[in-house]
């Protein structure tokens, strides 16, 4: 893809980043409290369904339009959906280390039993399902938080000179807009509670 796409992971699904895994941090600490957006430490499965709007449409001499196999360059937006009944083809041989399917996970079966003995071909239990669509004017426009640069979208809190906690992005916004030090400009604002 030419443009980055943001996959909306449901709560408590995305594993911790490699650094937090090494330091034995919880998913809540890594993804929610610290706001880490790095790649997870282990394989993560995503099933992407392409909306018809993603494909280039060609027309013949009679004016009939037909989608082609060529994708648009983007930008795209993503919407999370419920699980889809996708099954690997019978010719595909799955690695026995592939996580078990949702049915076997519910029954507490091992992945070897699921993939080798039962030869289940459904996607792993932890798969996140999304639909990818071409973004047109006003459709699926990401929020300002998603469009901001990584250094200003951090959810980390910083203490000001007065000792009050301020989100890093508010401090950065104050620096760029007002030309003053962000800590002093936001000294009166206090962010209480946990951020989601």
Please give the pLDDT value at position 149. 36
pTM higher than the cut 0.85: no
Please give the pLDDT value at position 138. 52
Segment-wise mean pLDDT, segments of 10 residues, the chain, 196 residues: 82 89 92 90 90 81 74 86 86 88 94 92 91 74 41 44 47 42 37 40
Long-range contacts for 29-36 (Cβ within 8 Å, ≥24 apart)? Answer: 32/194, 32/195, 32/196, 33/194, 34/155, 34/156, 35/154, 35/155, 35/156, 35/195
- C-alpha span between 103 and 138 (Å, rounded): 39
- Structure tokens that stand for 190 in this block: 């206090």
The end-to-end CA distance of the chain, in Å, is 28
Please give the pLDDT value at position 152. 37
Please give the pLDDT value at position 111. 92
């Amino acid at each position: 893809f030419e443009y980055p796409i943001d996959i909306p992971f449901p709560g408590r699904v995305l594993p911790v980043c490699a650094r937090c895994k090494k330091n034995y941090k919880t998913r809540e600490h890594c993804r929610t409290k610290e706001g880490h957006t790095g790649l997870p430490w282990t394989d993560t499965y995503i099933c992407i369904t392409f909306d018809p709007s993603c494909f280039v449409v060609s027309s013949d001499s009679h004016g009939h339009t037909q989608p082609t196999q060529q994708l648009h360059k983007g930008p795209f937006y993503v919407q999370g959906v419920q699980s889809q009944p996708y099954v690997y083809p019978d010719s595909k041989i799955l690695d026995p280390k592939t996580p078990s399917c949702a049915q076997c996970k519910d029954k507490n079966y091992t992945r070897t039993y699921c993939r080798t003995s039962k030869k289940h071909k459904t996607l792993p239990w932890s798969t996140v399902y999304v639909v990818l669509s071409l973004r047109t004017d006003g459709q699926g426009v990401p929020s300002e938080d998603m469009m901001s640069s990584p250094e200003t979208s951090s959810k980390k809190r910083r203490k000001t000179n007065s000792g009050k906690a301020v989100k890093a992005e508010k401090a950065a916004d104050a620096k760029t807009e007002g030309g003053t030090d962000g800590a002093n400009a936001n000294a009166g604002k206090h962010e209480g509670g946990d951020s989601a």
